[in-house]
Structure 1
Amino acid sequence: MFSIILNVIGSLLHLYVASRLYKIGPIRDRVSLSAWWLGAGAIWLLYIAGIQLGDEALDWRWWPGQFAMTWIGIQFVMTLCLLVADIVTGFGLWWRTLAPRLIAVAAAAGVILSGFGIYQAMRAPGVVEHELVLKDLPAALDGTVLVAITDLHLGAQRRSGWMQQRVEQINEIAPAAVLMVGDQVEDNPIGDAQLAAVLLGFKAPMGVWAVTGNHEFYGAVDTTIAEFEAGGVRWLRDKKVELAPGLVLAGLEDIGSTMRRDGNYMGGLDALLPGPPTNTATILMSHIPAPPLVDNAAAKGVDLMLSGHTHGGQIWPFGYLVKRQFPLLVGAHKVADMTLVISRGAGSWGPRMRLWQPGEILTLTLRSAQFTGRGASQVASVAKQ
């Protein structure tokens, strides 16, 4: 069903963009109508073939699949720009002599924005720092630094070489622990023999911990888990662990499939945290920041909840649509006495494009209310791109 939807949407975008571009004088003067549509048809067939092959393939199918997903992203951005020109000129009903020039300007803007979006997705994710006061954090742990990284989407687009760069980037921060908050893979286990050695390169005395995201379950989840465990990553699947005396890290199994079935996805949290913790700071990792789950976690006395999944919308203006389901879209938010931090993620899904929402890695500096005398509601963040 998903590929059918992409086929329809992508075909319509492709048809619209191709028809508008042929209105540009230099193109129309130099290329015959039949040659133009023959070329447009060939690109459309390649797009359809790529969608059918899928963008997560790790063999020769990689390039048509990646082309298809990137092409639909480019067509979307181009459509936004060309629509502005069409609306201004009434789709050619007025300003007839000016319309082709405005279409040319809009097309150029679409190309530039698409290129910038691809650059944003391909460049190294920035580091965003948050300083967080946890009311029950022991004074001895004041200043503890954690790193949270989510939505890596390792697979055809990003493999062990890209991950090696992220390990080096994170090690420069010198965190006590590394927290991987779901969607470590695009769909399937990546089957990269170098991955385990790369992951073993993390330097984090309190360990490297992970929870599943919805994408882990689109492939062989147990194999993916084994691949990361070989690299020293420990998974929290509705489990919790004491990172240090007075600091507990809890992890929820992904709730995505239960949400899609309109089922009750509170069971994991209720079993994991049956009541408010006593004199213990609790950090909860849950890939999807579903509003009822967030409220329930706050009611249970969780100090800090970490999530991803939303990508911050990834490509404008999708953030407005994502926000309808996840009102707290990205960044740090206070929910009662709990702080919720939602990351845009380090990778990308679908088109390797990010428009106004660059990838990020989170640095979390924990502060004790006992030590500082500050209220638990205080949170500060600063971006270092």
Structure 2
Amino acid sequence: MHILLVEDHPFQQQILRSQLERAKPESLVDVASSGKEALDRIGHRTPDVLVCDLNMPEMDGITFLSHLAKMSFSGAIIISSAAGPEVIKSVHQMCKSYRLSVIGCLNKPARPDHIRSLLELAARYLAGPQPPVTGQPLRLLSEAELDLAFEQQWLQPYYQPIVDMQSGRWCKNEALIRLVHPEHGVLSPAQFLPVIKKMGREDELALLSIQHVITHLEHFASRRVAVNITPRTLISFGFVDSVLALIQDVPAISQTLSFEITESDAIEHAGPSLEAAARLGMYGFKLSIDDFGTGYSSLKQLDQLPFEALKIDIGFVQALPESVTAGAIVEASLLLAQRLSLSSIAEGIEHPGQWQTLRQMGCQYAQGYFIGRPMPAGQLAQWHREWQEKKW
């Protein structure tokens, strides 16, 4: 691993470099004393991991990060700063909009255990599928390419485990759709989901995921699997009938399959939504609300539909424990879930600090890269063995 530390203060530079080298002895750690020097170094050799201060002379870290975006930097970024939480939050949002991968923030003075956990997270990020190197936004696949993807069965779910936060027990999974291209590998959902929605093939995609779950039941060992659907799919003609028809061939499917309603779309038709949800619930299928707090009329949806679980949005989870605002939102969401007798699930946990914070808050279930990446069904058993040995 090649790490570039960008830090102008000589003492902080010496301390951080020493801590990075101890945390990852096999790595090469280079240093730059300014943003301009760092850009010059990156022009000659691109690092895997960038540790960047924000308050620097000549070119501050925020301006430096905006230059990185223009250079299509695809490595892992760790922000090292004594800036306040609101500044850090704004920088995170800026980097997200620029498609830069900020995996965490080091407060000054940095703790060695925090440095180690962030470098482990960086290693997992670098080992996974990387976005295409381009200065332009991700290329959306064409409708013709997606027609072919449906025909050739390139669209398939990967499964991300969900565990109990108190016991660590693996108890359920989420099916996350991926496009496995024969030439380009595993493509980001951002490259095809908007087009599938535009084509009106969301229902077909949901049924494809359900069929995949059915054909891979042995890998889940009676644990539930959640499939994402939009409110439009929930009320679309024939969708619920198609789901209920599966019970004839797979009687136990309602005890395995559940649905996550994405909150990014409004539920515009309360009557049909209640009808669909009631029919699914009558046969044992469970519903949960995804990305809680980020979309349309969250509280109204909770009141309207018979949800059994509330998923806390990844944006709030990943801001923990640094962001006071995110902490307050998460605490309020957990209290709401408790008062409504709903299960609480935190998604997007990436490092031990987030895990411990949510565990102390009383969150029931968790998923994220700290636990396991989305993976083919056949890899779940191996993941489970490794997870049982992990000290969390």
TM-score range, shorter chain: 0.3 to 0.5
Higher relative contact order (CA 8 A, sep 6+): 1
TM-score by length of 2: 0.40
Which is greater in Rg? 1
